[in-house]
Structure formats: C-alpha cells, structure tokens
Amino acid sequence: MPDMNPWPASPLIAADWKDVDPAEGVPLAALLGAELAEQGLSGAVATAMVRRFRAAPMSFYPGWLLVEFEARLPDGTIGLADFLYGPGRRIVLLDGTSGPIHRANRRALAPLASPPLAVDYLRLFCGQLFADEGRFLIVESEADLAARLAAGRPPPAVASNVGPMRVRAPRDGEPEDGWIVDANILYGSTLFAGTYHLRDGDVRMIGDEPIGEVDVEAERWASPFRLVGAGPMPLLH
C-alpha cells in the first residue's frame, strides 16, 4: 500500500496529486535511473536513493503525467525532483530551466485553446523555473502564500491582494494573439503582480509590478532537486 508518512514539502505546483503505489514505483525508479545515466547525470543524481513517487495529470499534455519523487542524496540531504512521463515510457527531467518544457512541447503539447488550459500551462511553466532568488511561484490564494511563509510568521498585509490567475482581453500595446494572463508571482521574498503573454508553448512576461515583501521559507536548489531536509530514509521496496 502507498506510504502513509507525510511528504516533506509541498509538490512542485498545485495539481491533482496521487501517491504512486510502491509496486509501480520500483520499475519507475529503474527507468528513471537509466534515463539519468543516459543524460550523463551519473554523480549525485543517478546515485540518489529514491523513496517514493507521486503523480498528477497535466491537462495540456494529454496522456502524460507530471511525476515527483523523493530521494536521499549521497550526503544525506532529502530532495524532491520532477519529470514528465509519457507514452513509450518517455521521461523528460525538469531541471529548473525552460529547455525541458520546450522539448516536451514538441512531443506532447495540446493546443492551448481555452483559458483553463492556458492557466494550467502557465502554472507549470513558471513553477518549475529556478533562478538566483528561487522559483517563480504563482500564488492564487492567501493559503498558497501562507504555505511559503517562514515558520511562525503571520500572513503579511499583501496577502489580501492575492487572487486566482485571470485571462483577459489585451490592452493597448499588448499582443493580440494568444492569451494575456494576470497572475501573482512570488519570486524570492517579493510578491509581484505579473502579466504574461502565452502563444502556443511560448511564455513571455510583459509586465510586473512589486506589491510587497514576504518573509518566506527559502528553497535550496541543487538541480534537479529542491532540497527539503536531511536524515535517513529507506529505499523503495
């Protein structure tokens, strides 16, 4: 039966996540290891001890799953990493850059023909990007923001400004093709009101305005892992 212990951190993005049964996780771990080795990631990544997986469907990648795994790295650090898993047992490892998403798009991206598809895609595209100050996290509620706060910190005043992503008509000077999406973005300790243009699988930020500082729990990153703790962990069995 699936592992009942809580995961050490929230998943990469908000989605309909389900734990993968350990019986299915063992061959998936072997497939992942082979893929990592083929990509030349033979050091800490390929020797990571995978404990478990969780997976969520992606509306804009029909037949594919976003899969997250928890592992203990050789130095004892606990990490979470993600990959896209599709037909033919294909794996596309997400590494904090846009390259893997664009590679997956060539195989799997459905037309972003509706606002729900556009916002679902933007949530993944931004949420897996990692830069100097951390990831570009789309926050859509006060609860989303509260989950990122440093331990014991009360909700900041700017929490009342947070709301769902909004697809709207273009304004003067904005592109008229594709979709215009307004979204709240948490990058580092700054909350932004951002505006994005989506066309096919391409994403461009066309506006951003800082709206407040937030005392967040900083994420540590060692590509492709988000580092979330340390300690002994058993292998999948």
Report yes or no on 209 lying in a domain.
Answer: yes
The answer to whether residues 203 and 129 belong to one domain is yes
Domain carrying residue 40: 18-110+221-230
Give the Cα separation of 234 and 187 in Å (integer).
33
The answer to whether residues 124 and 202 belong to one domain is yes
Query: Could you read off the pLDDT of 14-49 as tens digits, one per residue?
Result: 999 999 999 999 888 888 888 777 777 654 455 568
The answer to whether residues 22 and 53 belong to one domain is yes
The answer to whether residues 131 and 208 belong to one domain is yes
The answer to whether residues 125 and 103 belong to one domain is no
Report yes or no on 7 lying in a domain.
Answer: no
Q: Is 87 exposed, middle or buried (0-12, 13-18, 19+ CB in 10 A)?
A: exposed
Report yes or no on 193 lying in a domain.
Answer: yes
Average pLDDT over all residues of the chain: 89
Report yes or no on 5 lying in a domain.
Answer: no
- pLDDT at residue 234, rounded to an integer: 41
Report yes or no on 6 lying in a domain.
Answer: no
The answer to whether residues 50 and 87 belong to one domain is yes
The answer to whether residues 145 and 100 belong to one domain is no
Which helix or strand (DSSP H or E) is residue 99 part of?
helix 99-108
Q: How many domains does the chain have?
A: 2
- Cβ atoms of 163 and 184 within 8 Å: the answer is yes
* DSSP tag of 14: S
Has this prediction a pTM greater than 0.85? Answer: yes
The answer to whether residues 95 and 142 belong to one domain is no
Report yes or no on 236 lying in a domain.
Answer: no
The answer to whether residues 72 and 162 belong to one domain is no
The answer to whether residues 58 and 97 belong to one domain is yes
Report yes or no on 70 lying in a domain.
Answer: yes
The answer to whether residues 49 and 122 belong to one domain is no
**Which of these, 178, 176, 177, 173, lies nearest to 207 by C-alpha position?**
173
The answer to whether residues 95 and 119 belong to one domain is no
Query: Could you read off the pLDDT of 74-110 as tens digits, one per residue?
Result: 888 899 999 999 999 999 999 999 999 999 999 999 9
